Chains A and B, each alone.
Chain A
Amino acid sequence: MARQNRRDFIRNSVVAGGIALSAPVWIEKAFGIEAGMAVASHIPRDGWVNLGCPAHNCGGRCLLKVLVRDGVITRIETDSREKDTAADPQLRACLRGRSYRKRQYHPDRLQYPLLRTGRRGEGQFKRISWDEAYDLMASKMLEIKEQYGNEAFHVPYGTGSYSHLNGRWPAARLINLFGGSLDYYNSYSWAAISKATPTVYGTGVCGNQRQDWLNSKYILMWGWNPAEMRDGTNSEYFLKLARQNGARVVCIDPRMTLSAVALADEWIPIRPGTDTAMMSAMAYIMIREGLVDREFIQTHCIGFDKTQMPKGLENEESYTDYILGNRDGIPKTPVWAAKITGVPAATITRIAREFGTIKPAMLYQGYGMQRRAYGEQPVRGGCVLASITGNIGIPGGWASGIALQPGGGPFWSIFPTGINPVKAKIPVFLWTEAILRGPELTEKEGLIGVDKLSTGLKFIWAVASNILINQHSNTNRTAEILRNEDLVKFIVVQDQFLTSSAMFADLVLPACTHFETWGLEDGWKYGEEVFVMPQIVEPYGESQSDFAICAGLAKKLGLAEAFTEQLDERGWTKRLWDEFRQLRFPELPDFEEFLKSNQGVYTVPVEHPEISFADFRRDPEKHPLKTPSGKIEIFSEQLFRMDQPVEIPPIPKYIQEWESPFGPEADSYPLQAIGPHYMSRVHSTHDNIDWLQSAFPQRLFINSVDAEARGIEDGDEVTAFNHRGQIHLPCRVTPRIMPGVVSIPQGSWSHFGKDGLDEQKNVNTLVSERWTPLAFGNAQHTIMVEVKKR
């Protein structure tokens, strides 16, 4: 008898007579979509289509199986490839991807171009035609270019639509053809970590491929929360496999996250912004008890102690000097760190011993701790702990830092945006400064490419970006800046919904979803795969793809041919697919054949995971790092030469944040607030999806100790406030957060009342616009607040 596989077994075990085999009940019309509309010939009218997920900047890239009936999406499933191995795991979508139907057919989808009628920010618009929209936008662009030049233009950071073809990329391409715009560098996600990691290693490519996690024996999940932000599809699953292989996992985090519950053997709550204090105390124990890898330090690092300081700087403070308090008189003992971190000295000592003795070990740091006042320090601190324990360049080890993947990694964008004739760049977070005082900005504010800007920003074209209000710091301040029509002269927002940012637009352009146009994408941070995203349904209303919108505008500007190169979205998708074959995946199948196969994703199994710095580990002389010394720079001479020792020390130090439970601000606002990613959203995307809202409602999470002290009970409406603003939302009283800390998940949409103030549930209303000293990055999780019952 032929061996039955499991699937056959289930099928054959079912008593057919006992089951109604009728088709499920379809409700195509529930969303008000008329079946039988004319559809393009390539759009499947019926059947399952496999394609990439998401269209946003979540931390994953998954496979969706979408059921189309009569031109309407009626169901969404995920990767069901027969095999699900560590080398080539199924790419299972999370709840956000599974709820896409609600977003696709949301009644609030934008259907046609809108022109502002009231004052800016009031949210009053009227419908106009695409032709009127293009005419207006083109004439404003020409007018502003004439008056202020191209430095006045800006296409801000935005990740609301993130396939390689759609989102801000085509707008960047068009504006480059138009003469360029003030560009940015860095991101809202990774500013400090992407700047600080290379100060230690000379590169951000310092991770190992994830299959190697299965070789680790000890994993410090430091502020890292893959179950919620994913950090690469399957990262949480790889941790499960690592534990099955015997790894002990310890989670250090102010919150007992979903990851802490499912992936860790122990949760250690820590005060936000104090990670470097705990890291320093761990180093203290390891140095005192001889748990550091002396030999590796000697051969591969500089700056650890006075015997290995850079030439000419022999008398400067080494890492060991700092840790033992040789200069400042403060030994960084566990008792010292306990008062700062809130972690008992005995716990710090125990974790130091575990990390110093269990080999190989990983210290994987999350990104939340670097979106803070001195976010560069824990990044360098984590890298140093990984280095002095010798966990570099070995299977099962981990160099910490941003840990981009060796041997490739994703491209993030492969669409050719062209060359920007404007050479000036600002740090991504400082666009409000470029509006307020563009010509005054200098290198002190991170301006590069030019000494001075000729103008402030006058024209903003935000594509798939809710940065303008929602995701930037201090929403009330940002709103005030944008309301002033003497500053920015014209604002265009291109999106699928009337977002908080779109409310501040002069012109709103309706963009279609990834189901309504073509695109492709590759793995997020780690993945070894490329997905195709074919158009499967017609655009909603008059919405158009981001590419098509730009092509329409290009026509008005006389740039059509240069912009499109006579390709449509499908043509570009094929071209980019072929690029992937050239640059990354030589075996990538022919585009047309791949489409026909309906696989949706092409994956390269990882049988032998790559390890960063393996060559350097083996022979540091022959394979030096790209740092100035060629070694791991525990002491950075580059940072030393910046001559800002208090805020940019050459060795990683704990620095008290500018808003802190230990500062005078704590008298009025004694609670630390953090704004983590939330399960119901990808940043601000999906905030309007009812299934997700009901699964993870927007709330303020507060410990029972703090709630009791304020007479607050679970479910109460509360107000969180500081001198920048106040927000109102229900609370969850939970033991799963450290006392003294409240969590207000980021991304909830702002809405401004008659008084012009945002009093919804957006944590950014409470956040300072001050940037980090080295990376000029967003310090959006450094917030002090008070909470009261409403």
Chain B
Amino acid sequence: MAKFGFYFDASACSGCKTCQIACQDKNDLPVGIRFRRIYEICGATWRQDDQNTWVPEIAAYNISVACNHCEDAPCVKACPTQAMYKDDNGIVAVDPKKCIGCRYCEWACPYGAPQYNKKLGIMQKCDLCRDYLADGKVPVCVSSCPMRALDFGPLDELQKRYGNQTTLYPLPDGDLVGAGWVIKSHPAETKAKELSARIINPEEVKNG
């Protein structure tokens, strides 16, 4: 049994959202349901001088997140009907027969991964393209990235290759939930907090 995970290189992500659309296509998702979302993080101050010039102090980068199939998955814990479960490969998935669409998992998840499908009245989410894994293929988002900013594999391998970082401002500490991913920061992250960087594209990541 391998525990799989994603690698995300924030320094290389342009925020083009090809991964998001590739996922929507693969999973036949309607508008408003995004198993993978791209958060645009930005904070800045602008200074004008007497020459009428403008100088920004700016931090901007993107975070592409699907589901991190957490070791200690809060969504699984929050689910009152045991519809949200972890399979033998550590993949967190929804059993549509058991899901009652109460959306507790959505509230519990620090990454916004579970998506509510209004039409079906249930939650849906990233399952790491497990039909592809069985076929020896990587998840569709990973092979889609024009910047090669995503990778996928057994988590221990990814950690060997890319390190153990699981947190990126302003996301919560990934270690608290055993988030199954590895991140490389964007250089701008170092000044993101002092510039009060925040998600500036809320409607583009909103479920519904």
Contact = CB atoms under 8 A, between A and B. Distances in A.
Contacts of B134: 11, 14, 16, 19, 21
B46 A256 contact: no
Interface string A7-33: 111110111111111111101001000
B52 A339 contact: yes
A695 B147 contact: no
Interface stretch (A74-82, A357-365, A613-621): A74-82
Interface residues of B, number: 66
Nearest to A101: B25
Interface stretch (A205-213, A341-349, A391-399, A519-527): A341-349
B86 to A, nearest CB: 10
A20 B135 CA distance: 12
Question: Which has the most chain B C-beta neighbours within 10 Å: A259, A339, A691?
Answer: A691
Contacts of A347: 55
Interface string B192-208: 00000000110110000
B148 A237 contact: yes
Contacts of B14: 227, 236, 258-259, 261-263
A98 B22 contact: yes
A25 B32 CA distance: 19
Interface in A659-711: 679, 690-697, 703-705
A233 B51 CA distance: 40
A98 B146 contact: no
Interface in B8-62: 11-18, 20-22, 24-26, 28, 31-32, 42-44, 46, 48-49, 51-56, 58, 60-62
Given A15-B1, A262-B15, A695-B17, A78 B144 contact: yes
Given A95-B16, A342-B53, A736-B58, A704 B46 contact: yes
B54 A269 contact: yes
A10 B153 contact: yes
A99 interface: yes
A570 interface: no
A267 interface: yes
Contacts of B145: 92
A695 B20 contact: yes
B143 interface: yes
A234 interface: yes
Contacts, number: 201
A20 B17 CA distance: 28
Contact of A95 (B17, B44, B130, B153): B17
A411 B131 CA distance: 41
A533 interface: no
Question: Which has the most chain B C-beta neighbours within 10 Å: A75, A98, A269?
Answer: A98
Given A261-B14, A342-B54, A736-B42, A10 B21 contact: no
Nearest to B44: A735
B87 A18 contact: yes
B28 A27 contact: yes
A715 interface: yes
Say which size band chain A's interface belongs to.
35 or more
Contacts of B66: none
A75 B25 contact: yes
B133 interface: yes
B190 interface: no
Nearest to A23: B131
Contact of B25 (A25, A99, A338, A705): A99
B76 to A, nearest CB: 15
Given A10-B153, A339-B51, A98 B25 contact: yes
A103 to B, nearest CB: 12
A289 to B, nearest CB: 21
Nearest to B59: A735
A6 interface: yes
A233 B87 CA distance: 38
B37 to A, nearest CB: 10
Nearest to A348: B53
Contact of A691 (B2, B31, B44): B31
A262 B46 contact: no
Contacts of A739: 46, 48, 54
A696 B17 contact: yes
A342 B52 contact: yes
Contacts of B136: 7-8, 10-11
Contact of B62 (A23, A261, A690): A261
Given A259-B14, A338-B53, A690-B31, A24 B131 contact: yes
Contacts of A335: 51
Contacts of B121: none
A145 interface: no
B53 A94 contact: no
B133 A705 contact: no
A93 B22 CA distance: 10
B81 to A, nearest CB: 19
A11 B133 contact: yes
A329 B55 CA distance: 29
A19 B62 contact: no
B146 A94 contact: yes
B73 to A, nearest CB: 16
A87 to B, nearest CB: 15
Interface of B: 1-2, 4, 11-18, 20-22, 24-26, 28, 31-32, 42-44, 46, 48-49, 51-56, 58, 60-62, 87-89, 91, 130-131, 133-138, 140, 143-149, 152-154, 186-188, 200-201, 203-204
24 contacts: A6-B153, A7-B136, A10-B154, A14-B2, A21-B134, A30-B28, A77-B26, A93-B18, A95-B20, A98-B21, A98-B144, A99-B24, A101-B25, A227-B14, A227-B147, A259-B14, A262-B147, A269-B56, A338-B52, A339-B51, A344-B49, A693-B31, A697-B203, A732-B201
Interface of A: 6-11, 13-25, 27, 30, 75-78, 80, 84, 92-95, 98-99, 101, 227-228, 233-234, 236-237, 240, 256, 258-263, 265, 267, 269, 335, 338-339, 341-345, 347, 679, 690-697, 703-705, 714-715, 732, 734-736, 738-740
Given A92-B18, A92-B143, A736-B60, 17 more contacts: A23-B131, A78-B22, A92-B146, A94-B16, A236-B147, A240-B12, A260-B60, A262-B62, A262-B149, A339-B52, A342-B53, A694-B204, A696-B17, A697-B203, A697-B204, A736-B44, A736-B58
